[in-house]
Amino acid sequence: MYAKQISGEWQQYTLRQLRKDNPQVSFPAEPSDATLAEYGMYPVSTEAQPTYDPRYQRLTQAPLAEANGTVTRGWVIEEIPGTVERVKEEAYRRIVAICPEWKQRNLTAQAAQLAKKGETSWTPEEAAAWAAGEAIWNQIAAIRAASDVIEAMDPIPANFYDLPDWP
């Protein structure tokens, strides 16, 4: 990639643009950097991509800039603000990781059948199934409670994923 300063700003600039802007010049197929520099065109050095957390950070390329005779393209990391919707999405992700929706429906149906039968009539297997389902619902309730606490924060931190409020 190449760049040229146009109206005081560094902009990406191609060999095709150079040829179009200078129709009277016959450039070789692969002009040297020295030849390109005569026309104000310089190779761009792109910095290595930095480490970032895509859950709460956005990575974008910085505008072209010149320093010490080298045109570079760097990176900008910006925080994605925490929102109630994003907290709810994270709570949902955590809940379905523990118990997918289909399993939640099955547990609800099983609980309805066992409730109708009455606890005093349960077999040992049914009592164990009830206890297992109740343990799952308790985990889900803890995630929902943590989500409520985080949603009430003002402002909600960008890195709410890592807060100790989550179970």
- In tens, the pLDDT along 34-74 reads 999 999 999 999 999 999 999 899 999 999 999 887 899 99
Q: Which domain holds residue 38?
A: 2-79
Instruction: Output the average pLDDT for the chain.
Output: 94
How many other C-beta atoms are found inside a 10 Å radius of the C-beta of residue 121? 9
Element counts in the chain: helices (H) and strands (E): 5, 5
Identify the pLDDT of residue 67: 85
> Do 127 and 88 belong to one domain?
yes
Last residue of a domain, one of 63, 79, 95: 79
Look up the pTM and report it: 0.66
Q: How far is CA 29 from CA 12, 16, 26, 35, in A?
A: 19, 11, 9, 12
28: three-class secondary structure by DSSP: coil
> Do 39 and 53 belong to one domain?
yes
> Do 121 and 143 belong to one domain?
yes
Indicate whether 94 pLDDT > 90.
yes
User: pLDDT tens digits, residue range 116-142?
Assistant: 999 999 999 999 999 999 999 999 999
> Do 94 and 63 belong to one domain?
no
Last residue of a domain, one of 32, 51, 79: 79
- How many domains does the structure of the chain reveal? 2
